[in-house]
A and B are shown apart, each in its own frame.
Chain A
Amino acid sequence: MTGQMTGARMVIEALKEQGVEVVFGYPGGAVLPIYDELFQQNEIRHILVRHEQGAVHAAEGYARSTGKPGVVLVTSGPGATNAVTGIVDALMDSIPLVVLTGQVPTFMVGSDAFQEADTVGITRPCTKMNWLVKDTDKLAETIHQAFHVAASGRPGPVLVDIPKDVQFATGAYVEKPQARTSHYRPQVKGDRARIEELAALIETAERPVFYTGGGVINSGPEASRLLRELVAATGIPITSTLMGLGAYPASGREWIGMLGMHGTYEANWAMHDCDLMINIGARFDDRITGRINAFSPGSKKAHIDIDPSSINKVIHADVPIIGDVSDVLADLLEIWSARGRKVNRPALERWWSQIDEWRAVDCLAYKPGTGIIRPQHALARLEALTKEMDRYITTEVGQHQMWAAQYLGFEDPNRWMTSGGLGTMGYGLPASVGVQVAHPEALVINVAGEASWLMNMQEMGTAVQYRLPIKQFILNNERLGMVRQWQELLHGERYSHSWSEALPDFVKLAEAFGCKGIRCDSEEDLDDAIREMLAYDGPVIFDCLVEKHENCFPMIPSGNAHNDMILGEAETQGVIGAKGAVLV
């Protein structure tokens, strides 16, 4: 399409040219011209959510599970402000999104017009880039640029604010190949000398460990493939952050589990005791490092990251490598192979036997059931009954999220959608909507806590409307469990407002939405109930009543070192010192 057209039409044309198949949105006065154009075409599907926050999380789920940018369309004022939480969430987790917002007409901007909000001002700190388009001639080009910025380098959310008169006015459409996508071209090839240095370190390291993160997922399937090749060839143990789960398979021989605050004993000890840490696309988040000056004191640290500001931000990198994971890993494999594919085998064997000792602690073991369902057990059964399936998991935020990370196994990238950086309760249900839209035939499960789930439960309406057979697996402890856990450990068991009181009857709620509800409160019935959920061809709300006072372990208390973790209830007295108590 070229030539003259209205701004509203340009939006649709530009989205089509960018290969957009689906838009998550909610209409209102300031986007009506765009909605009118949506109505008159059949190529782009629009999913009507029930709240703009839901639209953004759905787009995040779509993006994370497909590798393509998610697209959101909302109106001015409250439409835009409702989207803000989701935009911040996407920024923190490096999720590519293009958010289109309507704005009051240019001649009314700044006059406190009806439903006017300073959208670019409000979202400037939480977008990778944003634009207010004042001229229809620039609209198509700006949208093309928005897609370029969202998906290149370290991905993230961008926003294009489009005043209503710009949508109505006619201008010249600029096609994608003609659009100036600015000078924005992040470096993807790593410095060869640095990669060579890393290869040399790999050859001699006695206690190396791969610490991988969301950057491997961001980099695409090729990065995961190369990572697997590298791990298999070197035999070096590998751990991952919450955001990187699935890049290396949980069934893989070298996998030692997730690391960090609720990571495994073996992963955290390996990080603490290693002599070479190879960070691939992770950002030394405070859930990982614990106390900085006790973080892996004896190791040389290599850090591969596409964003120069991630390097040396928190932890000094001895071998910084700026580049895209797949490019750097390809070069690393090539260089390391050319040098003879060497590792320090005898030392590695000693290292593995040390790791096996840590593994033997069996830190994820939980007390056997007493009839009451333990949340860990519920997830272990869910895992057993679904692991062979074409499965995608989303989560809410809290204990259930950590248990899901611990007890479900991820074999492939893009199968695990969770809010890591912002920790947004209410993320999981709308995210599962977005994932199911992208993968209509797959099994999509949201592992939820009842409190989080209630935050965006209106999105069940979306699931029912579009016949999205999402499964809401709610671990219902009638508590704000993660908050309760901290109050137990840190605030003298004074459980200030951490109850979920006056909970709805989830089965009736399901019926009210027009979907299926299942309740299960005994271990005995659990497997059958899960099977019933899986067999049902439509959305299900599964109310799994679990032990109310279970805590999530292992746990590295805030402000502690990696080798200072607690494994279970007996060890929880006075574990968080005064310094740790100020931290979150």
Chain B
Amino acid sequence: MSPLNIEKGSSKHSAYDLRDPHAERLERHTLAIIVDNESGVLARVIGLFSARGYNIDSLTVAEVDHEGHRSRITIVTTGTAQVIIQIKAQLERMVSTHEVHDLTTEGPSVERELALFKVAGKGEPRIEALRLAEIFRANVVDSTLESFVFEMTGTPEKVDAFAELMRPLGLREVARTGVAALSRGQ
């Protein structure tokens, strides 16, 4: 009998699906999930993603309707088209779920993230950091003689870009909230 020769790319979605998952294009989707604000709901959502091997690129959650006891979970995920459909179906069938919206496919939407950056330095780099912050419309929310904390909102790409620019200028720490998203229009 030949030795076991497991092919690269054996998919985790079916024991028998030995197709190369990289052959299929990965898509990035932003999902908004309205759930009952009960204990354990977030754990259920996260557990679903880890148990089924789905990706979470970003996750935010907060109560959005105190009276109705509802929370909104925003998840940014990547996967093949089939996996994205499966993720939605899995989320929809959860007992605590009220609605699942795929903001990426349901028409135009806005995405924002809030980030805080601590940048330390003196002299020219410090001045450069401040200058760039202005261009990016980041606010200074704390400052010492040798450091700033900038606050910025924007798309994840904008946050990434700013972080890249700050890195050589003395970036010490970044805190990001993750994506919040809404569909445009009414």
Stretch touching chain A among B89-97, B110-118, B155-163: B89-97
User: For the complex, would chain B's binding face be called helix, strand, loop or mixed by DSSP majority?
Assistant: loop
How far is the CB of B64 from the nearest CB of chain A, in Å?
16
Assess the B39–A132 pair: CB atoms within 8 A: yes
Interface centre among A120, A308, A311, A558 (most CB of B within 10 A): A308
Assess the A492–B16 pair: CB atoms within 8 A: no
Q: Chain B 11-52, CB within 8 Å of chain A: the 1/0 string?
A: 001111111000000000000000010011001100100010
Interface size of B by CB at 8 A reads 32
Assess the A308–B39 pair: CB atoms within 8 A: no
How far is the CB of B181 from the nearest CB of chain A, in Å?
23
Assess the A578–B5 pair: CB atoms within 8 A: yes
The answer to whether B7 has its CB under 8 Å from any CB of chain A is yes
Assess the B44–A124 pair: CB atoms within 8 A: yes
The answer to whether B3 has its CB under 8 Å from any CB of chain A is yes
How far is the CB of B23 from the nearest CB of chain A, in Å?
12
Given contacts A125-B47, A582-B4, contact A182 B16 (CB under 8 A): no
Task: Give Cα A232–Cα B7 distance, bound, in whole angstroms.
Answer: 46
Contacts of A313 in B (CB 8 A): 86, 89
Interface size of A by CB at 8 A reads 40
Task: Give Cα A582–Cα B18 distance, bound, in whole angstroms.
Answer: 11
Assess the A307–B93 pair: CB atoms within 8 A: yes
Assess the B89–A124 pair: CB atoms within 8 A: no
The answer to whether A121 has its CB under 8 Å from any CB of chain B is yes
Assess the A584–B15 pair: CB atoms within 8 A: yes
Task: Give Cα A121–Cα B16 distance, bound, in whole angstroms.
Answer: 31
The answer to whether B10 has its CB under 8 Å from any CB of chain A is yes
Assess the B2–A578 pair: CB atoms within 8 A: yes
Task: Give Cα A184–Cα B96 distance, bound, in whole angstroms.
Answer: 8
How far is the CB of B43 from the nearest CB of chain A, in Å?
6
Task: Give Cα A183–Cα B86 distance, bound, in whole angstroms.
Answer: 22
Assess the B1–A286 pair: CB atoms within 8 A: no
B39 closest partner in A (C-beta) = A132
Assess the B6–A582 pair: CB atoms within 8 A: yes
A306 closest partner in B (C-beta) = B93
Contacts of B10 in A (CB 8 A): 582
Assess the B16–A559 pair: CB atoms within 8 A: yes
Q: Quick one: which of A181-220 are within 8 Å of B by CB?
A: 182-184, 186
* Other contacts beyond A124-B43, A291-B18: 8, CB < 8 A: A121-B43, A125-B51, A184-B95, A290-B16, A292-B16, A307-B93, A559-B16, A577-B2
The 8 closest A-B pairs by CB, nearest first: A309-B89, A129-B95, A308-B89, A578-B5, A292-B17, A286-B15, A309-B90, A583-B15
